[in-house]
Amino acid sequence: MTWRPVPRTDVDALALPLDPTHGFLLSRLDGTLDVPTLAALTGMPQERVAAMLRDLVALGAVLPEGPEPRPAPRTSALTPAAPPPEADPATESQEAEAEEDAPTAAARAATHRQLFEQRLHARPADERVAQARVAVEPELSAWCFDPTAEVIRAVLENPRAGLVQARLIAAHHRTSAGLEALGGRTGFTNDLGVRRALLQNPLLPTGLYRRLWSPRRLLEQYLVAISRDAPEQVRAMARDLLRASFTQRTGEEKAELIFTTEGRCLASLVGLTLDGHATALLCRRTFVSTLLIQNLGRWSATPPQLIAHLRRQDTVKRNAPLRQLLERHPNAS
């Protein structure tokens, strides 16, 4: 039977004397991958992977090769034990990948950064560029932490570069030129993980943000503008783009944004106006949200037709403060 190495859960790997390469290999172990698969995944020869696994066993980070004990199924005195369902390899693979992404992403990034800082950082710039262009794992991901845009371009030109490297660059690179190089690769920027990492990068260039988010709906732009995960620089870019896009979009989209956000978006749209089509669409709706009516009542650009429509709503008729708010609006007739 092919050995599928299993990491020990009772050992703190951070306390072991692991070099970056061993740490990288350990981060890929989940008990479902055999040695040939690990070699293909890491880009290292099988003999090297096998030798490194023996080192990890000796250090106590990995269980030794051998049959794994199967836990006895839990049974009840009233319910007979049922045979275990047949495992679906595709499902197991997807679950293992999903479990690995969240818990080990930070550990893998730390390992790659450590590899770069300890073994790659001191090399001359032209040598780093040349090596990044032909690197394999784990060095390929380590080059994503290089602070120079030329090396990042070389990583992106490497035929082995994929979404793992694109996400690392989006999350950790800190030059506009390097991020613009990533933005030129549509296959990468269409990935949700890359986009999320870019939004959390305080050095995201304004031009790149506009290229990526200008085609998106107003509601999506607004969600970026209020996102707590995005730094203030990115939220400011999102607010500016939202204001510019609002004046160019259809009445349907404007009405959808206002109604869906219960008017919260209007705080970012001070000084803009609502066109006749969007006003007509809003006037066809029944308003039951007190918050939405309050936000429209406080927005100085709310059209007279919409103010009159709001004053006819049952929610307003039953709420004296809302009636007074709309009566004091500058566009109330």
Is residue 239 within 8 Å of residue 227, measured between CB atoms? no
Q: For the purposes of burial, counting CB atoms within 10 Å of the CB of 5, is it exposed (0-12), middle (13-18) or buried (19 or more)? A: buried
- Rounded Cα distance between 258 and 263, Å, is 5
- Rounded Cα distance between 307 and 218, Å, is 23
Residue 96 pLDDT greater than 50, yes or no: no
- Output the average pLDDT for the chain: 85
- C-alpha distances in angstroms, 152 versus 139, 182, 186, 277? 13, 8, 16, 47
Is residue 103 within 8 Å of residue 132, measured between CB atoms? no
Q: What stretch of H or E contains 120? A: none
User: What percent of the chain is predicted at pLDDT more than 70?
Assistant: 83
- B/e letters for 144-159, b = 16+ CB within 10 Å, e = fewer, are bbbebbbbbbbbbebe
Strand partners, 62: 7
Least confident of 9-18, 212-221, 235-244: 9-18
CA angle 141, 42, 187 (to 5 degrees): 55
The amino acid sitting at 51 is A
pLDDT tens-digit map of 33-63: 888 877 767 767 888 888 888 888 877 888 8
- Rounded Cα distance between 283 and 312, Å, is 11
pLDDT for 89 equals 39
Is residue 261 within 8 Å of residue 296, measured between CB atoms? no
pLDDT for 68 equals 46
pLDDT for 324 equals 96
Is residue 272 within 8 Å of residue 243, measured between CB atoms? yes
pLDDT for 76 equals 37
pLDDT tens-digit map of 102-131: 445 665 677 888 889 988 989 999 999 999
- B/e letters for 309-329, b = 16+ CB within 10 Å, e = fewer, are bbbebeebeeeeebeebbeeb
109 CB neighbour count, 10 Å cutoff:
18
pLDDT for 30 equals 77
pLDDT for 247 equals 94
pLDDT for 99 equals 40
pLDDT tens-digit map of 221-236: 999 999 998 999 999 9
* Range of 67-71, 98-102, 135-139 with top mean pLDDT: 135-139
Higher model confidence: residue 96 or residue 318?
Answer: 318
- At 201, is the pLDDT very low, low, confident or very high (cuts 50, 70, 90)? very high
